[in-house]
Amino acid sequence: MELSASFYYLVFHSFLVRRCGVIYPSWSELHHFVWFLNTQLVDFEENQFVTVAAAKDLPGFSTFVLKFLILMSRVSFLSRKML
């Protein structure tokens, strides 16, 4: 059984809605949340402290930083919503 692209779109959309922290987010709010999270993830990928080479010296650090960035994106997004 092959799943359609619309199914994956629906799964992705529901994932974003659950992670952004707003109960009924608008498209604009989702856009800003994804944009901010993406900039954080790009910086994460370019950081030398979370590379595979640094993993042996700092085990678990990259996982910690990644979880923190996702949380920070959500909190930053929610704090703008509350203003």
| Unique residue bearing structure tokens 């979880």 | 67
Q: Residue 42: what pLDDT?
A: 92
11-59 pLDDT, tens digit each = 877 877 777 777 778 888 888 888 888 888 899 888 888 888 788 888 8
Reported as a pLDDT band with limits 50, 70 and 90, residue 81 is: low
Q: Domain boundaries in the chain? A: 5-82
At residue 13, what is the residue type? H
Are 61 and 54 contacting, i.e. CB atoms less than 8 angstroms apart?
yes
Res 3 pLDDT > 80? no
CA 12 distance to own-chain centroid: 12
| Unique residue bearing structure tokens 């608008």 | 26
Res 78 pLDDT > 80? no
pTM over 0.85: no
